[in-house]
Amino acid sequence: MRTPIAPSRTTRGRCSCARSGSARSTRSSPPAAPRRGGTVKGRVLVARQDNLGDVLLAGPAVRAVAAHADSVVMLAGPRGAAAAEMLPGVDEVVTWCAPWIDPEPPPVTESAIHEFSEVLRKIDADSAVVFTSFHQTALPLALLLRMAGVEQIAAISEDYPGSLLDVRHRVEGDPPEPERALSLARAAGFELPDGDDGGLAVRRPLPDVGHLVGRRRYVVVHPAASVPAREWPMFRCRAAVRELAAAGWAVVVTGAPADRELTAHVAGHSGVDLGGRTDLPELAAVLDGADAVVAPNTGPAHLAAAVGTPVVSLFAPVVSAARWAPYGVPRVVLGEQFAPCRNTRARYCPVPGHPCLTLVTPEEVAAAVVEVTS
């Protein structure tokens, strides 16, 4: 059983990538108490500026920082800010769309960079730990942090950082993303506290969603992904809902407001359609109450892992399952991991027919649900 992690105070920030200069921040009140776990290292900024799932995967490393910091400010992008607000150990969330991180980057303008630099200066961090994926660079943010007066900056960097980094960390092999981030936190002097198992987690309590899901045991099917190449075909999702319902499961279909047409089709007459009906804490609660979650490689799969729910992962090999599959919970990974698209990071499937996932059958998914719930 996972060791409970006390909730921390977080705050909400929003911005649009179309306005990269518009950084927003609000703070908890009263100020957070000093943390436990050894020498307090002042006010620490942690950064992870991409998607919801990426932010959740940085959660254990953020808790390691929080265990030794006076307070923690998390710098997130607009796609991941809602997840940052849910991370234990975060006291403040600052949202800004980084032109060198976001997949649909805004233009770089002098005024936007100047405004963001002032935001960083006002944060007044003593140190910073910049978390990035293997294909991203931490150096532009390190430059701005250095200009804002941050004295100690740590990041993973294959590129020569000059005087931008005080801790230049390198990672060998292809470890799971939470462990990769934790290795950076350790290199920067931040260890997880005793009793923290290093799993994913969110702040609790979660909202009551009984009015959405009822009181029966259920399985969640989440059909959408942020990248089309990672999605299981719609007709397969719909058939899987029917297959699970025929096996006796109540089936709940989840999705964002933009996914309503998709979730309505997938749910059909066999499932409960919650597309667009939950915010992120409510979605976490829906996933928390499920016996299992069926999802592609996308944020809600990691959110399911963060609430401790087993995952049937429909995983397209455009990125490494060893690094990005749901972490720390019972899981079954389905999909041809040696397909021609392997490790291409393609956003759209380059292989006609999307065979790596199309060949996965609803019967295989139903069997995997039985496996992870047994």
Q: At what angle do helices 260-267 and 234-246 cross, to 10 degrees?
A: 40
8 Å CB contact between 306 and 284: yes
CATH topology of domain 24-187: Rossmann fold (3.40.50)
Between CA 357 and CA 374 the distance in angstroms is: 24
Does the domain at residues 210-373 carry the CATH identifier 3.40.50.2000?
yes
Low-confidence ranges of the chain (pLDDT < 70): 1-22, 24-40
Q: Which residues contact 86 (CB under 8 A, 6 or more apart)?
A: 10, 202, 203, 280, 281, 284
Question: 299-306 vs 280-289: helix axis angle to the nearest 10?
Answer: 60
Adjacency order of strands within the sheet including 127-130: 24-27, 92-95, 71-76, 43-48, 127-130, 152-156, 167-169
Residue 31 has what pLDDT? 36
pLDDT digits (tens, 9 = 90+) for 210-239: 999 998 999 999 999 999 999 999 999 999
What token pair was written down for 268? 């059909």
Q: What is the pLDDT of residue 164?
A: 98
Question: What pLDDT score does 2 carry?
Answer: 31
Q: By the 8 A CB rule, do 202 and 57 touch?
A: no
pLDDT score, position 158:
94
Other residues' Cβ atoms within 10 Å of the Cβ of residue 126: 16
231 Rama sector, left if φ>0, alpha if ψ -120 to 50, beta otherwise: beta
Q: Domain spans of the chain?
A: 24-187, 210-373
Joined together, the tokens standing for residue 363 give: 């019967």
Confirm if 155 and 167 have CB atoms less than 8 A apart. yes
Give the pLDDT score at 10.
34
User: So what's the pLDDT on residue 225?
Assistant: 96
pTM reported for the whole predicted model: 0.91
Q: CA-CA distances (angstroms) from residue 137 to 48, 130, 305?
A: 11, 10, 27
Two tokens at 280?
């992120």
Rounded CA gap, 252 and 220, in Å?
5
Query: How many angstroms separate the CA atoms of 333 and 256, rounded?
Result: 23
154 to 2, 77, 81, 158, 169: CA distances (angstroms): 29, 19, 21, 13, 7
The reply to whether domains 24-187 and 210-373 share a CATH topology is yes
Q: Spell out the residues 6+ positions from residue 353 whose beta carbon is closer than 8 angstroms to its own.
A: none
